[in-house]
Structure formats: structure tokens, C-alpha cells
Amino acid sequence: MSETTAKPKLSQKSMAAIIFGWFIVALGIIGVTFLLISGEWLSPFLMAFYPLLALFTVFIFTGYSKRVIEGKELPRPVSALLAIFMIGVLVGSTYLVVFYSPMIAAKNFKSKPYLNWFAGQNASTDMCVSWVSSERTVGSVKYGTSPSELNDEMHGDIEATKYHHILLTGLSPNTTYYYQTSDSPDIYYFRTAPVGEFNFSFSAWADHRTNTKTQKSVWELNQPNVVEHIDRVFRETGRRNEFSVFAGDLVDVPGAYLDWKTWFEDISYNNFSCNAPVQVIFGNHERYKGEPNFTICQDFYPLPMGPDNRFAHSFDYGPIHFIMLDPYDTGHSWSENFSDYQLNWLKGDLEANKDSPYKLIYMHPWPTKLSGVKADLEILCGKYNITMIFCGHYHEFAHETLNGTDVVVLGLGGNPNNVYQEAGLECGTAFGIYDVTTNNLKFTAQMINGTTLLELNYPR
């Protein structure tokens, strides 16, 4: 008679070890998947090393499982190496899943509506209502002068999209309009600018997002939302913030959808951006690690881009002519010079608006740090009597003059790695407020704790 050799029966301990091991292997595969989808914030070394670690772990554990089933043991050094690999995969994949899950989920976020004036719009008669929907839809906006009578309606593109920008035209000046988007039952409002002479106030800030490698930014690092404090100051002083100007660095990198989601959540605090425009220019972070045509940031803010791949536009509100400039180059760098196209555009825009009582330029980089930009602006500041240049990029406050023009650096809009925190101070978040009367423009730069950094007055 032939005898058959019975396979060794697995103990409960061995079975549990195999099940737990395969759970870690599965977690490793999931972690690598998350890494490949949204791992651009890790160093190239880690992005290459971790998949290799997971691959080796799968290979060694497969051999381990086979030997256990056969009733054999792994050599002690191999068992120790496997244990180290398993711990590495467990810790690494847990981190990747926890850290990147919100980022992947955020790709389908939706926003409240946010208001803009894009190129060529008149603040007294036009408004653009924008929002992001979680799914592709054909958007529309109902509006009217009473929240109970939204009798007018404007439709967007005939093709479904997640990024809606619907232009309302032919509005009456100095009028409050109520509106409702097709994606929400909520009703918001905005006010068109008066014509002629009138008093008003507005705000400005820069560098809302962090330049560090975290995606949790404001809430994880306990940074205050500067919009909340701008809103508070205006309410406490009985003023209305007619609009805001933001001078760049909304997000960390253009593909960071969690940062975009956070940006829109932050600016819609107390319906801040739903009821008053927030005019933006892009910083280097909106284009860093982005595609050549910058389509991601333009999905959210379709600003006019010249043939030099740089953005430049202007708009008017009351006696002020606003110029939005962008001498961006590539990566994290800024061009030392305006492009020929941009410089010619700037000269033409200043010449066409040379009689404006106030001319304000907003740009992300500190212009006097760029030799060619500084030289060109120095000439133009003297020729066209430019009132102020407001910028950020450097996470600090600074004030200087350029041929009679005040240059204000206020890159303290919410990032955690600023000079005040590096000095051990509790908070380094600041913003600017402009108060305009028929005979004066007053600018105040202040921190959210009320400390005044700078006060400037420009009589008419």
C-alpha cells in the first residue's frame, strides 16, 4: 500500500499571521496607488523608494506564506528583514491613505458662488457669477432686484462643465441685485458700483496659502482665516467691503484640489465672496508644477493671458484704475523683465488711463527685487504718477518708494512660514484696507490683532 504524506495543519497563530500579513500587503498596494495618484508633494527619492519597498515586501511575504503552508520556516535574517519591511509598509501606507484620501476626494468638491469682474467688465453695469459644481452641469443664474422676484435668467455654456462663469450685463448702477445659481437654492446678493463721486472701502491681501509641503494649511497649522478677520473689522467699524483684491498664491500647486476647496471655503466665510467680488492675480504657486497653458488655475479664474503666457488686465472702480500684473516665468521663479507684450500692454493701459485720479498696481512678486521690472516701473511711476504697488510673495511686511510711488509688500495673508512666526510671535497674519472719499484715499495695513503696520493718505 502506498502512503500519502499529510500536509501539516496550520496553527491559528500561523493563519492569523498570514491573514494579517496579506492585509498589510493589500494596504501597501493601496498606499502605492494613492502615491501614484497624488504623491507629487513627496521627494523623488521617496516616490521611487516606497513602491520598491512595497514590491519587495509582497515578494518576500509570498515566499513566507508558501513556506508556512508547507510547514517550513524562513531563515531568521529573512524573517527579521520581512518584519522590518512589513512595519515600513504598515506605517507608510497608513500615512499615505490618511494624508491623500482628502486630496483625492476633493477633486469633486463644489463651491459656493464667487463674484468677479473679468477683463472689459464695468463695475457699475456688469458682474460675473462663478462657482464650481461637483458634477458637470449646464449652469444658469436667476437674478433680480428683490429676493422674491428673480425674474431675469442668464445661462452659461451650452456644454456641461464643472467650472461656471456666467456674465450678467446691462445692470443698473448703484443697485443691489439678488441671485441664485442653478446648483443651489440659496440666494445671495451683490451691489453694482455707483457712478460719479462716492465714498467706498475695499480690502487687499496676499499669500493666503502656505509654501510648505502640507495640504492641510490653515486648519492643520491653526492659521487664522484672514477673510474672517477682514469681515469682522468691516462689521465692527460699520463699513461695507465693496470688493477685495488678492495678490497671488491661492494654493500650493495647481493640482492641489484640496487647497482649491479650502480657498473657496475660506473666501466664502459669511458669504464674503458670494456678496462682493474678490479680484485675483496668480502667484507662482498657481503655476508651480503645472501644465504649460495653466489650464487648472484658469478653470477657476479664466483671466486673460497674452501670447507670452502671462496674465495682465485692468478694471475701474470709482476714481481708481486697477492694474493686475504677472511677470511670471517658470517653476518658482519670476522673470527679471516684463515681456515685450506685457510692457507694451502696460504702457498702453497707463496712457489710456493717465487721467485717473488713482492708479494702483497689484502683482505677486516684489517688483524692486527684479532688475528689469524695477527699471521699467521706475520710469512709468514717474511718468504716470502711479499711486501704489501692492505685492506679496515674501512672507513679510515692507514699505519702500520707487520714484515717488509707494511699494507695499504684505505677504502675510495666512501662510504659516512668515517672519513674525519665525521670530516667535503668535501670529503674523495681516491685510490692507482702503477707504476712499471724494477728496482722499487712505490705505491701512494692519494685523488681525489690530496692530497698525502702515498708514498712507493720498489727497485728491
Give the count of beta carbons closer than 10 Å to the beta carbon of residue 427: 16
Q: Which of 86, 107, 128 finishes a domain?
A: 107
User: Is residue 339 one of the residues assigned to a domain?
Assistant: yes
User: By the 8 A CB rule, do 324 and 290 touch?
Assistant: no
Which domain does 24 fall in, by range?
Answer: 12-107
CA 262 to each of CA 67, 201, 205, 400, 415: distance values in angstroms, whole numbers, following the listed order: 50, 26, 16, 33, 13
Q: Give the cell for residue 363.
A: 502683482
- 405-410 and 430-436: which strand pairing? unpaired
Give the residue ranges of the chain where pLDDT is below 50: 1-2, 211-220
Looking at the structure, tell me whether residues 254 and 372 fall in a common domain.
yes
* Number of structural domains found in the chain: 2
User: Is residue 129 one of the residues assigned to a domain?
Assistant: no
Residue recorded with cell 479650502: 262
**Nearest residue to 448 via CA among 430, 422, 423:** 430
Residue 14: per-residue pLDDT:
60
User: Is residue 186 one of the residues assigned to a domain?
Assistant: no
CA end-to-end span of the chain = 115
Residue 1: per-residue pLDDT:
44
Looking at the structure, tell me whether residues 211 and 360 fall in a common domain.
yes
User: Is residue 142 one of the residues assigned to a domain?
Assistant: no
Looking at the structure, tell me whether residues 445 and 323 fall in a common domain.
yes
Residue 217: per-residue pLDDT:
43
User: Is residue 143 one of the residues assigned to a domain?
Assistant: no
**Element housing 90 (H / E):** helix 76-105
State the helix-helix crossing angle for 12-38 and 44-69, rounded to 10 degrees: 160
Q: Which of 55, 86, 107 finishes a domain?
A: 107
Separation of alpha carbons 92 and 39, rounded Å: 12
Separation of alpha carbons 249 and 281, rounded Å: 8
CATH number at residue 419: 3.60.21.10
Give the count of beta carbons closer than 10 Å to the beta carbon of residue 422: 12
User: Is residue 27 one of the residues assigned to a domain?
Assistant: yes
Q: Which of 55, 74, 107 finishes a domain?
A: 107
Looking at the structure, tell me whether residues 88 and 202 fall in a common domain.
no
> Who contacts 197 (Cβ-Cβ below 8 Å, separation ≥6)?
318, 319, 438
44-66 in b/e form (b: 16+ CB < 10 A) is eeeeeebbebbeebbebbeebbe
Looking at the structure, tell me whether residues 284 and 396 fall in a common domain.
yes
Looking at the structure, tell me whether residues 205 and 99 fall in a common domain.
no
Partners of 132 in the beta sheet? 163
pTM for the whole structure: 0.82
Amino acid type, 9: K
Residue 253: per-residue pLDDT:
79
Q: Give the cell for residue 108.
A: 469633486
User: Is residue 5 one of the residues assigned to a domain?
Assistant: no
Looking at the structure, tell me whether residues 94 and 210 fall in a common domain.
no
Tell me the pLDDT of the chain averaged across its residues: 84
Residue 16: per-residue pLDDT:
63
Angle in degrees, CA 368, 370, 375, rounded to 5: 70
Residue 212: per-residue pLDDT:
45
Looking at the structure, tell me whether residues 214 and 89 fall in a common domain.
no
Residue 10: per-residue pLDDT:
54
> Who contacts 184 (Cβ-Cβ below 8 Å, separation ≥6)?
112, 113
User: Is residue 220 one of the residues assigned to a domain?
Assistant: yes
Separation of alpha carbons 399 and 395, rounded Å: 13
